[in-house]
Structure 1
Amino acid sequence: MTRTHPRRHAALALLIVATAALQGCDLQAGESARAAAADHRSPDAASQRITVHHKLGVTEIGKPPRRVVALDMNEVDFLDQLGVPIAGMPKDFVPRYLAKYRDAGEVTDMGAIVQPNLERVHAAKPDLILMTSLQARHYRELSEIAPTIHFDVDYRDSRAQHIEIIKDHLMTLGRVFRKEALARQRIAELDAKVEEARRITRGRPEKALIVLHNNGAFSSFGVRSRYGFIFDALGVKPVSPTLETGLHGQPVSSEFIQQANPDIIYLVDRTAVMEHRPALNAETLGNPLLRQTNAWKNGRVVFADPEAWYITAASVNSVKLIIDDVIKGYRR
């Protein structure tokens, strides 16, 4: 019979106890580490969630979206400003400054701006959809496909805080895509452009009229209209400060324009956009009554960029192009 030495037995017992204690410590340390990691993840995950309040509801977004569908050209312009890839967009009316998306095969055509193809939107498997009031009636259906953000711009009356609304939306998208520094940079550039226009219009006596051309007919836009921000934010003086025209403008005759006799005319050619025709210019606008205005006589009829003014007009790039046109009216 083999006899175990008492000292060796005691040492073995101590080793077993110590090993168990160490294992217990390791397990406890492991549990503590996992708990700490969980505690770290929870607030971090919560802090990464972005809550966006808009006129149609509240939208929550977790990690930065990877597949984005933009249903309005203003939204496409916002994403372009932030360098965010676009999975899908309507391609019926794409301005030239966003043409690279129209021609890109990886960007799915979502149909028409005013009537997007919801089946195509669903098939694109977006994790974020961007829309405006033009698609508002589809908000519920779109929200069932993916988180959907409504851009709260008022196309009927842009006088009230139009530039601020654009900047706020850009900053919201900057938060959503973790591109806040770039969003702030773009906002600073827009602010500088607005201030440039205000420096030029400040103290100037000229009065301007914004006219939309549609197949030979004209509509005017005043201080409470889709172009109200030109008078409010940019400091342009209107021919009639009481003219209220809303989204589509007030139909006016050539005689009205002649009698109003504006010092500056900004002419937006809707026909060129909607029917893909060459835009009007000084040679092709053969209207004898308009030629009798001070604006025409002094070379201050500005044939505005119809894509920036009519297709978009509520995004960074389009507003900067509009400001360029506004400034032209004071430099001729």
Structure 2
Amino acid sequence: MKKIILLVCVSFFMLESCSSNEDTPIVVPSATTAEAVLDGNSIKITWQAVTGAGITYNIYRNDDTVKINSTPLTEAKFTDVLTTTGAFTYTVTVNLSGQESPKGIASEKVVLEVPKTRTFEVYKYDASNVMTTEYKSFSTFTYDPIIINKLISVSGNYLIAGGAASTESNKDIYTYTGNLIMKLESFNNAGVVQSSTVYLYNDKNKMISLENTQNNNNIYKIVFDYNVDGTVLGTHYSGISGALEPRGNSSVYTVLNGNLIKEESFVVNVGNPIQKSTIEYSFDTKKNPFANVLGFSNYTLWWANQNNEISSISNNNTSSTIYSSRNEITYNLNGSVLINKFYRKNGTNPEELYSINTYTY
């Protein structure tokens, strides 16, 4: 009897040993490269899905050690709704049976920067070509605390040079419907509306008209028609409420890659030849300071430019003079405009520095 008990104990021990030797460690698949794309005030992150049962993922922003997803992700995608502006990269890890892989390869840097302040200075020259400041303004941009690229207002202070200097201030207030800017109202320092601009859009969210009403009830309006060749026709009207009439001028605009590259304007006066002027623009590949502001990409023409103008050439059929301009731009480490110096040249006259825009983000 004692011998039988001994054999049973030995057999049990041997079974345990065999079972332990056959266990294999869980191998967690490696994480892949993350891809990140800016979408309004959010960044959409995607990566190559890992096959296998029970696989989940975590997402890390920049070099943070704390994941940004509140629960493990079962799909190879995630949307990071930003609460602050800046530059962001993302990495992915793979989870399996309570174990987490090392971080995968980080995404390329994604930047969401919008102007916080802007200083604008305009210069003039006397007969001796001495340059002085003619006009200077300082603007502060205020955004929605939740939708951080939704512009609420722009407050400005202005110094008018020449003679007795005086200071003025105003405030522009933006009204949105969804992601579209529907109205822009400008107030003076007494809180009185000086002008109001109403914008209309088609079913593709392209602007089809803007109508600006001054506080003296004068109205200026442009109606935009989108041609099959990709150009945009702008027809200009003016007058008072209920009595708008064509101004006799129109424009044809050519847009490429989100930038206005050519503007042809025609003025028709009865009994006179049609006056035509043409401006051609070239651009860099970096983002315009307002490219990330909600609704600006739905504007038409100059306001919607996605990149920065670096030069222009203009002429008209009533003069042999060619006008040109160029911008000398300084960028920050994220590729956003810090300083934009605007130079212009009239025919064979010397080039002049006309204005400087300085931004903070």
TM-score, with structure 2 as normaliser = 0.23
Q: Which has the higher contact order (CA 8 A, sep 6+)?
A: 1
TM-score, with structure 1 as normaliser = 0.24
Higher fraction of helix: 1
